[in-house]
């Protein structure tokens, strides 16, 4: 398979040097999961540029992205505005439906308990995750909200799609913040 990713250096206004991931020849991608995760990473880059924790997400239905978003907590002074919540709200508007039947959520980092709860309530079919979250992950790493068979709806969960690329911005962000 052709590697669709080129890593280029980029300098942020903060002076932190990061690797930007550019998508090339997307139509040649054999793996749709990588394509959609790359779109989520593009969203995470927007968060990074806005000095937000760089997590991005997209929601896909019938192989089309119907919603995308990134963390906007600081911008909106709102602790619930995680990328996944923003995406779920947008997809619900687009589909004019509170339930996102047959939708897939791609997110660069494992959803927290709040977002995992929203994913279950939205009846999202599958969650595809870049990197695990050792502190807040609620898809099996710290808690198991997504994938908990005691709940009414159990989305499929898959880890590790573009794990390294998805982690890149997070590493750069937290290195710069030193926390
Ligand atoms: Zn969350």
113 Cα: distance to centroid of ligand 1 (angstroms): 7
Q: What integer is the mean pLDDT of 26-33?
A: 60
Summarize pLDDT for 47-77 with one digit per residue, the tens.
Answer: 998 999 999 999 999 989 999 999 999 999 9
141 Cα: distance to centroid of ligand 1 (angstroms): 14
Q: How many CB atoms lie within 10 A of CB 7?
A: 12
Question: What is the pLDDT at residue 154?
Answer: 97
β-partners of residue 109 are 131
151 Cα: distance to centroid of ligand 1 (angstroms): 18
- Active-site residue, from 42, 52, 84, 165: 84
Summarize pLDDT for 111-162 with one digit per residue, the tens.
Answer: 999 999 999 999 999 999 999 999 999 999 999 999 899 999 999 999 999 9
Summarize pLDDT for 73-110 with one digit per residue, the tens.
Answer: 999 999 999 999 999 999 999 999 999 999 999 999 99
70 Cα: distance to centroid of ligand 1 (angstroms): 11
Tokens at 113, concatenated = 């308990």
To the query of whether residue 84 is one of the catalytic residues in this protein, the response is yes
Question: What is the pLDDT at residue 76?
Answer: 97
Question: What is the pLDDT at residue 37?
Answer: 92
C-alpha to C-alpha distance for 34 and 100, rounded to whole angstroms: 21
12 Cα: distance to centroid of ligand 1 (angstroms): 25
What residues have CB less than 8 Å from 57, skipping those under 6 apart? 40, 43, 68, 69, 70, 83, 84, 86, 87, 105, 106, 107, 108
C-alpha to C-alpha distance for 48 and 163, rounded to whole angstroms: 17
Q: Which residues surround ligand 1, an ion (CB under 5 A)?
A: 82, 112, 115
Percent of the chain past pLDDT 90, that is, above it, reads 68
**Helix, strand, or coil here: 125?**
coil
């Amino acid at each position: 398979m052709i590697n669709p990713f080129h890593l280029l250096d980029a300098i942020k206004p903060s002076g932190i040097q990061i690797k930007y991931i550019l998508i090339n020849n997307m139509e040649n991608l054999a793996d749709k999961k990588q394509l959609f995760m790359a779109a989520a990473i593009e969203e995470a880059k927007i968060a990074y540029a806005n000095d937000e924790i760089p997590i991005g997400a997209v929601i896909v239905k019938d192989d089309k992205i119907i919603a995308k978003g990134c963390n906007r907590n600081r911008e909106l002074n709102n602790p619930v505005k995680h990328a996944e919540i923003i995406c779920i709200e947008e997809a619900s508007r687009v589909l004019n439906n509170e339930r996102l039947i047959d939708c897939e959520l791609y997110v660069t980092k494992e959803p927290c308990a709040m977002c995992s709860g929203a994913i279950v309530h939205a009846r999202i079919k599958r969650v595809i995750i870049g990197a695990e979250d050792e502190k807040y992950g609620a898809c099996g790493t710290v808690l198991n909200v997504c994938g908990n068979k005691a709940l009414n709806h159990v989305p499929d969960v898959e880890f590790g799609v573009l794990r390294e690329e998805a982690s890149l911005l997070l590493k750069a962000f937290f290195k710069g913040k030193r926390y």
